[in-house]
Structure 1
Amino acid sequence: MTLKPLFLVCLLNFLIAAAMGLAMRFIYIYPLDLNYRFLTHAHSHTAMLGWVYLMLFTLITYHFVPNPKAIFTKLFWITEFAVLGMLLSFPFQGYAAVSITFSTLHIFCSYYFVYLIFKYAKVENNLTRIVLKTALVFMLVSTIGVWCLGPAVGILGQASAFYQIAIQFFLHFQFNGWFLIGLLALLFNQFQIKDNQNSKRFYILLVISTICTLALPVSWYAPHPILNIINGIGVLCQLGALYYFFKLVKPKFSTLTYQNSKLLKYLYAFSLSSFVFKIALQSSSFIPAVALMAKQQHNFVIGFIHLTMLGVVSGFLFVFLIQTKITYQNKYFTWGIYSFIFGFLVTEGILFLQGILFTFEIGVMPKYYLLLFILSTFLVLGILLIIMSILHTNTNYNDKQKTIKTT
């Protein structure tokens, strides 16, 4: 089976997740007979596990596994089956027997994927190999939080600090460990970054910062002065990692993007800008007043999650999608990317602005929920146009074709 159907499945998952997000914003305008919390679970799981996880699965297999065996394709479809199970069960029952069963299936699929990559991946570049394996290890580590949820509910209940910390543990190492570091492995592979003194410093600071910044969300539910110190160490290491990151990629970035299309250069600029802004916001948590504001204002939390998921992660995934040489109808794809970026920028602006207004007790801006809903449609439209652009082609690649064996 060629990679084109796999990419389309990932994008379709993303479209469904975006549509559910749009429905959640519509509920604030016109109440629907839907359980908002259950819908949130379905939205987040489909976005994280159906879009980001499966795209990373496909891209990592494509770039790092020569002549992938049939088991990779089979595992992809079993994982997608688990995603569909969560998609169809979460909106109706939340965390219950059926949804938990499919979530567990997805976790075991991810374990097997890690085993397959460690066994079959061939990565010549030392830095890329270490970063890739680190991302996979963080993915494994993140699932400890999931396994703690059952005991947390059974012993202390869902309102307990233990339960909330378990969730934050999972989310932190999924977003900052598995997703972001997995993307860095793909980026370093694309740029062919060599292992040197700067790369060693970058890697050490990156790992330390990823571990230490977990202290911030933990401090929300179990406050202690030592957690603020640990988070501060993580913030400083994160800024140091960002410095060495740009020292590593700047020469390669200017050379590589100069040879590519304007759309690709804009996407790189968008993704890297989102990455820098994310780190800047995360680093500002070193200031106690900012950390408290982030905890208290839901708008800032949602805005930060979307900054990571839509700006950084999805931005880079679109970059790597283009660089696999998959063919698409240029007009649809270009307008799809622009629509997505526009929808992201304006909705982020509104979310953060409203968060500031809430912080200073000014109240809700006029037509806030209606405006947020209308502008969010550009995100859904953008993903739909990207899917249409790929469907409107008969071939799979411009100048390179690679298939995953089915037998």
Structure 2
Amino acid sequence: MKLANRVQALTPSTTLAITAKAKELKTQGHDVIGLGAGEPDFNTPQNIIDAAVRSMNEGHTKYTPSAGLPALKNAIAAKLKRDQDLEYNVSEIMVGSGAKHVLYTLFQAILDAGDEVIVPTPYWVSYPEQVKLAGGIPVYIEGKEANDFKITAEQLAGGITPKTRAIIINSPSNPTGMIYTNEELQAIAEICVKNEILIVSDEIYEKLVYGSASHTSIAQLSDAIKEQTIIINGVSKSHSMTGWRIGYAAGNEKIIKAMTNLASHSTSNPTTTAQYGAIEAYNGPQDTVNEMRDAFESRLNAIYGKLTAIPGMTCVKPQGAFYLFPNAKKTADLSGYSNVDEFSQALLEEALVAVVPGSGFGADDYIRLSYATSLDQLEKAIERIHSFVNAKIEQVQQA
């Protein structure tokens, strides 16, 4: 049976593939430590769970408006005002079944065949695939390690063509954890406004920022930039609600209306119970958000030095999110592997540590390790990698 060309051209999610392989080995009895999944290891805060249960007991189990409950959109508007001093009407907010679904709907709403979207590398694995599914063309611009994996305004200006429709800015970044400064955002935004390029600002990791770093939404910089920006966010990472599938877009009312019309023919509405949980997430106490952030920062500081002590391994210390993105090319070479993909596969099969090869993020020489797991497991994983590399180097030297 013939499949549609659009799905035949898709590249499977590298992170999900690694996670699936790790689970398969675990079911076979192997003690695999998985550092691939991009989700907090904490349970959803109890007040959010209680609010969701209460909503079901009160009979809130029916359809909602396609763009989300008015109460949730009001809670999101209040959050944007509270955290970023940004004002949005409820007509400028659309709630979807997770930030990933919201991004998918956005690209379906704004792209025609042949339209280009600038995707800085390294990128989250789904960005280019979603652009392609909408008939668009991802145009890659390399964020160089020397610039903390961020693209410059000059690079952006050089990548714009008459077909450029949008650019994706993910700050803090998955997979690098790096954050754009206000000055960098301003320079990029001015080019976008001048060329009428839509800024897709993925801010899903905004609450996970460490040390002296701070997060600024690019929409905060001016009214003109705000008008040219669609903010993408949600409760998955900030409130440990990955499985609840609630994300949102905030921006131009015309685009939000188009996204809402599309969603009405795909999901009808986000899951009702999850929406009530999200209302509590935004309106309720935020203590647990800060507690989880502090735990991630503590883990990062505890393992960063141990990771960079592995022969050949170098890593720019992340400023946010919960990933380390070390350059493993020299480590792979020293260990006798021809590329980092082979090295990553061997780590999983022999050292029983699951990492995600950077090829899935458009950066072949790197690996991504998530520290969204217990410190004990993290330290054990780093020790395994270190021992594995030392043993492989010894074998190479003796050959």
Pick the TM interval, shorter chain.
under 0.3
**Higher share in helix:** 1
Bigger RCO (CA 8 Å, 6+ sep): 2
What's the TM-score, normalizing by structure 2? Answer: 0.27
**Higher share in strand:** 2
What's the TM-score, normalizing by structure 1? Answer: 0.27
